[in-house]
Chains A and B, each alone.
Chain A
Amino acid sequence: GNSVTQMEGPVTLSEEAFLTINCTYTATGYPSLFWYVQYPGEGLQLLLKATKADDKGSNKGFEATYRKETTSFHLEKGSVQVSDSAVYFCALRGGATNKLIFGTGTLLAVQP
Chain B
Amino acid sequence: GAGVSQSPSNKVTEKGKDVELRCDPISGHTALYWYRQSLGQGLEFLIYFQGNSAPDKSGLPSDRFSAERTGGSVSTLTIQRTQQEDSAVYLCASSSDRGLAGNTIYFGEGSWLTVV
User: A49 near B: Cβ within 8 Å?
Assistant: yes
Interface residue range, chain B: 20 to 34
Task: Give A95 to B45 CA distance when docked, in angstroms.
Answer: 16
- Contact residues of A between 34 and 68, Cβ < 8 Å to B: 36, 42-46, 49, 51
Task: Give A5 to B102 CA distance when docked, in angstroms.
Answer: 20
Taking a contact as CB atoms under 8 Å apart, the answer to whether A98 and B102 are in contact is: no
A residues lining the B interface (CB < 8 Å):
31-32, 36, 42-46, 49, 51, 89, 93-95, 97-105
CB distance from A105 to the nearest CB of B (A): 5
CB distance from B20 to the nearest CB of A (A): 20
B residues lining the A interface (CB < 8 Å):
31, 33, 35, 42-43, 45, 48, 50, 56, 59, 91, 93, 97, 99, 101-102, 104-110
Once A51-B102, A98-B31, A98-B101 are accepted as A-B contacts, the answer to whether A105 and B50 lie under 8 Å apart by CB is: no
Task: Give A100 to B36 CA distance when docked, in angstroms.
Answer: 13
Decide if the interface of chain A is mainly helix, strand, loop or mixed: strand
Task: Give A44 to B109 CA distance when docked, in angstroms.
Answer: 7
Chain B contacts of A102 at CB under 8 A? 35, 42-43
Task: Give A46 to B103 CA distance when docked, in angstroms.
Answer: 11
CB distance from B52 to the nearest CB of A (A): 15
Which of A31, A46, A97, A101 is within 8 Å of B104, CB to CB? A46
Nearest A residue to B109, CB-CB:
A43
Taking a contact as CB atoms under 8 Å apart, the answer to whether A43 and B43 are in contact is: no
Task: Give A109 to B33 CA distance when docked, in angstroms.
Answer: 29
Task: Give A93 to B43 CA distance when docked, in angstroms.
Answer: 14
Nearest B residue to A31, CB-CB:
B101
Which of B35, B50, B102, B109 is within 8 Å of A49, CB to CB? B102
Which of A31, A94, A103 is within 8 Å of B42, CB to CB? A103
Chain B contacts of A32 at CB under 8 A? 101-102
Chain B contacts of A105 at CB under 8 A? 42-43
